[in-house]
Structure 1
């Protein structure tokens, strides 16, 4: 139902359509005013008389001697206009000397003996007869080498009656014509604008889809209107600058993590080789372990944000979940927590196996760290969803959005981690196109991992 969506007031399409509507209304209004003014003036009457006289010329009938005798049979249906007693219309035909050859029933006395009617030349004239104003027109014609002049006259009041009757018809005709024009051209304008601006909508959707995981993407300008292309090019150049800065930042983070790993390993080795130290030695080793873990997670976070670091293949989620549970079995036994993995079927996803293992391992590790002793942490695989649940104290609703923030740590965890484990999980999930969410389980916390790509395919199939 996108066609029926209401356009916002600041829409370019709305403004163009509004300009079109205003132009159409103004055009129709001016057309009605012009038609009314012409109908109420004698300008149109004179033009009509000239056309009527020219039409009468084509129907003049001549005798065998080449003299006009009246009109042919095609004029019989209009003879009443010139023969009635009202004397509202009249005609006559003159030779080049001004002598009357044919005259209507009004007679020669109807026509003035001097003035414009006596000037034998093409054109319009006006005269008075019996207190009434008449408009006339002279039209020359040729027959057998001789020139004749047809004069046609109509009273002003007759024209007034005609135009009074015709005015509503003309206005109605203009209104109907304007309405049809408005609807037809309005529909064409809307459809044209819709498909003309479609490339802009496509570019907007492409821009909205760009994220740190696809920062190398660029907007396509092939179908973009020429007026908008410079703006899209500028946006692409801005993306290039952002990508360069992002790559530099990620490379710095990875390089720093790599550089710190070796000194930390040497420090740890030196501390372990010391025979004295006692509690100080254990404290130093704990600090070095914490720093090593933090550096390792920083390195994983930098790698997880880059899709080109992954090698995608079809993997068994159940198999990876069992491997992660086995890897953390000793940690779970130390915390007196029972690990279970349940799968309804062998679910296979397209993923990087190592990244998928890291994601499930971090989720299980986080659950173990928050689970009370003698409770269980479960992994359930069903359809396109994997859930990891503990039965610990959980978190407040206000803290749920903070779970995937970098360096955020809950207050009741057992270890002193860096607060990057769940952030790494979120980066891996987003890079794969999955959806990772957290919700209160009452008791405990449930993490839900959904394969968004497969879910969308299922919805399309349905």
Structure 2
């Protein structure tokens, strides 16, 4: 067994060296988790920055629209129900006063006259636009050398239309961005770092849990050897992605075990069956061949041993179904070859061979050589047990093939044992190795066919092989 194990040993050393040069799967996955989260965090920061840059104006406008509601609600009316000013609450006034330099408003009536202002200056904030063109306007307007966001909104008060102009310095946006951006950056960096560590730790733990059954399978695989072929890799708690690989490996071990057992059976059977005829032939040769009968017996024994060796070799060849060379085969052609091959033997035994052909063409997937051996053994067995002057009938159909003889038949209690290796019926005097029908059974099983024995219509035995239901 050493030549088989040597390459595995060198392969294992190569794998160990390779594992030392590259990080483990757990480390690579942990780094992958961390990199993925860091990339996500950077993407979030980038999107936030992009939104702040591109939609800052929109946010400012929405904020200013909210402020206009407070101003509209604070309109002061005279006796004629005309707006003459704005009276904010204490809290709202305090907020306006704090940002008075950066926040301005004007209230215009339908004639364009400023009726209320946030400061002594009562000039329109949109002097280039008529009062009718102002509602809905929003943009950046320079006021006293500084840029302001200016918007205009209209509302009716007691049937008269008033336009509220609200201006806010763009420094509000800049100051807000300067105040919020560092906080967002620090928060994202902190959360990103903590999340990356958590992801890495969780990834490492997850990978360890996944690799644990794989390591168990590796340990089990190291225990498989020539003296322990019955060992199998565990499939319990194996990841679903890897379980098919483990099951396939176990199937390979099953086939190896069967092949190894067949090899042991072959060696044991060969040694057992050849031991006696070899000893007898040796004894006769040592005693000297005194007559023609002694010479004939030695030749017969040598022929028997040659046939046994040939059948044992054939049994070893068909023991593994994977070794079959399947192709499209026409059973009728194989049957004709077998009958031609055994025609001389049948003629010497005064046996007539008859082939009943099927009505239509029959073609199956099979190993042509193995099928020839199967049918040859069935027909040869029928010739050996048929009396002189009888007929051996070979019937072929689309479902299978059968061979009928006119011999003594097979008792019901022996119809299962007859396919066992080296089994011979009690009281059997004919020469034979007891391997022919066993070989038929092995070939049939390798192809997935069913073989059976029953009574023939003429009183003899009928052997049937069915390749389709």
TM-score, normalising length: structure 1: 0.45
- Scaled by the length of structure 2, the TM-score of the pair is 0.44
Q: Which of these two proteins has the greater Rg computed from alpha carbons? A: 2
